[in-house]
């Protein structure tokens, strides 16, 4: 299939040629014709699959083709794209400009962490396409600097992450301000019950777009892991960077503090590194990202949320210095590499305490990660590792399971512990969450795999609270000078 055969306008085809795109990616081939028909869609696609163009291109065409098209009036918006993070908002708007360069339509972004005034001026003139994070958009709504009553198309990009970050209330408030006869497009890498509920209330007879195979399962990303004690991880990391001649890598850690600590440690060892996380100002985050993208620094140390949606061209390596809180985050992390047909490598350093997450990841992606060893390093392999891995549960969690089965046992709230998995709840990861069955066009309701809520309300998430909902941000402001 070519772009010409899906009925795109010449202005868009020209912009796509300029971008060097010759054939649509699977999600584009599925989604673009359906969106052009004016249907609602729910698409299972993560970053790296070409999802941004999958909604941006038809959105531009539909806005352009509207009969009696008029410039939006002051403060009005014709299409609204909601994204979880500032970086993703900026990237989406960049795509709007890129694909719409031969169609003079206006676009702008609004997100937190920067002065509101330039955003107010941009909104005052009215915009065709607004890309926004929910919290800052509601700030504008409250100050009456934006009017959502004329929105024709709504896009929820990375909807799963927006819910993880606690934006559900904000999203519902925003939707209540948008006309009901809009077209709605929802993109999500994974599907929880919360997403399913949102889909049921938000979309009208949506077409389910078949998920493109995610990067975790593709052959583009080589995945392996090394066992290491927590104490040895820093030395092992340096060893790998040198031994494997890693020229550039995005390194994931769980906490903001951990990101700062590791980047300082790397700098002390002569490796140029910079951290990116939610405690930095927007300017600092943009500088860190641009230094990494231009190759001025070799290592970008990131927390999960700060790195969400980052599109770094030809990133060869992702290193999980800490495993993420949930197996789904592993997929998001390694999706930073192996993008747009280029191969990549994902290496994880796994401590004995993290082995349950490792088993969870392997269940989710339905494949075993290759276990490696570094010369001169004694791997801290947990006792009984191969048996545990076979069953997918650690001895520690087996004994917890037994305790819970006892009729006299006290039942602690296991799910509030980051990384903890409810004992015996193996169905949780039986299926890659974003894989669903068919692109059954015209179906009135969407059937998605049931999956318990991600452990997003776990205490560890409070470390990302600055990027979370406004309520979360407010809480954080009591304890620290944030954002």
**Site for ligand AMP, rule CB under 6 A:** 21, 24-25, 28, 47-53, 311, 339-340
Cβ at position 111, least distance to ligand AMP in Å:
17
| CA atoms of 100 and 98, how far apart (whole Å) | 6
Q: At a CB cut-off of 8 Å and minimum separation 6, what does 77 contact? A: 123, 126, 127, 128, 129, 130, 146, 147, 148, 150, 151
DSSP state of 385: H
Q: Nearest approach, Cβ of 396 to ligand AMP (angstroms)?
A: 38
Determine contact, residues 339/215, Cβ cutoff 8 Å.
yes
Q: Which H or E run contains 348?
A: strand 344-350
Beta bridge partners of 154: 80, 184
Give the shortest CB-170-to-ligand AMP separation in angstroms.
23
Question: Please, what is the minimum distance in Å from the beta carbon of residue 346 to ligand AMP?
Answer: 17
Tell me the sheet residues that pair with 274.
300
The secondary element (H helix, E strand) that includes residue 77 is: strand 77-82
Least distance CB 311 / ligand AMP (angstroms): 5
Nearest residue (CB) to ligand AMP, 96 versus 271: 96
> Is the Cβ of residue 49 or residue 190 nearer to ligand AMP in the bound state?
49
Q: Which is nearer to ligand AMP, 47 or 279 (CB)?
A: 47
Residue 304 CB, nearest approach to ligand AMP (Å): 17
Q: Which of 30, 28, 34, 32 is nearest to 48 (CA)?
A: 28
Distance in Å, CB of 97 to ligand AMP, minimum: 13
Q: Toward ligand AMP, which CB reaches closer, 50 or 126?
A: 50
Q: How far, in Å, are 49, 172, 359 from residue 201 at the CA level?
A: 26, 10, 35
Of 28 and 223, nearer to ligand AMP (C-beta) is: 28
Q: Minimum Å distance from CB 256 to ligand AMP?
A: 24
Q: What are phi and psi of 233, to 5 degrees?
A: -60, -40
**What is the smallest separation between the CB atom of 183 and ligand AMP, expressed in angstroms?**
20
Q: Rounded to whole angstroms, how far apart are CA atoms 293 and 300?
A: 9
Output 50 or 134, the one with its CB closest to ligand AMP: 50
Return the ∠ at Cα 119 (arms to 189 and 151), rounded to 5°.
55
Number of H helices, E strands in the chain: 18, 14
Q: Mutual orientation of helices 327-334 and 355-365 as an angle, nearest 10°?
A: 70
Cβ proximity to ligand AMP, 83 vs 192, nearer residue: 83
Instruction: Give the span between the Cα atoms of 345 and 339, in whole angstroms.
Output: 11
Rg (CA), the chain: 23
User: Measured from the CB atom, is 52 or 85 closer to ligand AMP?
Assistant: 52
> Which of 335/482 has CB closer to ligand AMP?
335
Cα–Cα distance, 289 to 309 (Å, whole number): 12
Residue 93 DSSP label: H
């Amino acid at each position: 299939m070519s772009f010409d055969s899906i009925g795109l306008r010449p202005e868009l085809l020209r912009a796509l040629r300029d971008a060097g795109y010759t054939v649509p990616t699977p999600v584009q081939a599925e989604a673009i014709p359906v969106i052009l028909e004016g249907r609602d869609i729910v698409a299972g696609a993560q970053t790296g699959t070409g999802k941004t163009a999958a909604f941006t291109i038809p959105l531009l065409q539909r806005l352009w083709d509207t009969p009696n098209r008029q410039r939006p009036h002051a403060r009005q918006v014709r299409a609204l794209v909601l994204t979880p993070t500032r970086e993703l908002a900026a990237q989406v708007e960049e795509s709007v400009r890129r694909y719409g360069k031969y169609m003079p339509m206006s676009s702008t972004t609004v997100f937190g962490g920067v002065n509101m005034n330039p955003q107010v001026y941009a909104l005052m003139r009215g915009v065709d396409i607004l890309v926004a994070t929910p919290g800052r958009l509601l700030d504008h709504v409250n100050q009456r600097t934006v009017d959502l009553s004329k929105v024709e198309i709504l896009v929820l990009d990375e909807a799963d992450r927006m819910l993880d970050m606690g934006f559900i209330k904000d999203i519902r408030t925003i939707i209540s301000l948008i006309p009901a006869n809009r077209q709605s497009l929802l993109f999500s890498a994974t599907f929880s019950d919360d997403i399913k509920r949102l889909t049921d209330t938000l979309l009208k007879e949506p077409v389910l777009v078949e998920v493109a195979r995610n990067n975790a399962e593709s052959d583009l990303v080589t995945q392996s892991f090394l066992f290491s004690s927590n104490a040895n991880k820093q030395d092992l990391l340096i060893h790998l960077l040198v031994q494997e001649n890693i020229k550039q890598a995005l390194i994931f850690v769980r906490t903001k503090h951990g990101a700062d600590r590791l980047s300082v440690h790397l700098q002390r060892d002569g490796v140029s590194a910079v951290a990116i996380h939610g405690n930095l100002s927007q300017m600092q985050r943009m500088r860190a990202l641009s230094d990494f993208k231009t190759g001025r620094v070799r290592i970008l140390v990131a927390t999960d949320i700060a790195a969400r949606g980052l599109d770094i061209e030809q990133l060869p390596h992702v290193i999980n210095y800490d495993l993420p809180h949930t197996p789904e985050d592993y997929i998001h992390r390694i999706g930073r590499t192996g993008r747009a047909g280029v191969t990549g490598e994902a290496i994880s350093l796994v401590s004995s305490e993290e082995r349950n997450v490792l088993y969870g990841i392997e269940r989710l992606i339905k494949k075993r990660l290759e276990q490696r060893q570094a010369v001169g390093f004694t791997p801290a392999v947990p006792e009984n590792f191969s048996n545990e891995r076979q069953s997918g549960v650690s001895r520690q969690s087996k004994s917890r399971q037994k305790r819970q089965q006892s009729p006299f046992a006290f039942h602690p709230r296991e799910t509030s512990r980051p990384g903890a998995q409810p004992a015996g709840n193996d169905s949780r990861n039986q299926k890659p969450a974003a894989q669903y069955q068919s692109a059954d066009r015209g179906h009135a309701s969407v059937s998605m795999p049931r999956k318990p809520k991600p452990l997003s309300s776990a205490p560890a998430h409070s470390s990302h609270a600055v990027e979370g909902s406004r309520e979360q941000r407010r809480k954080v402001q009591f304890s620290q000078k944030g954002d």
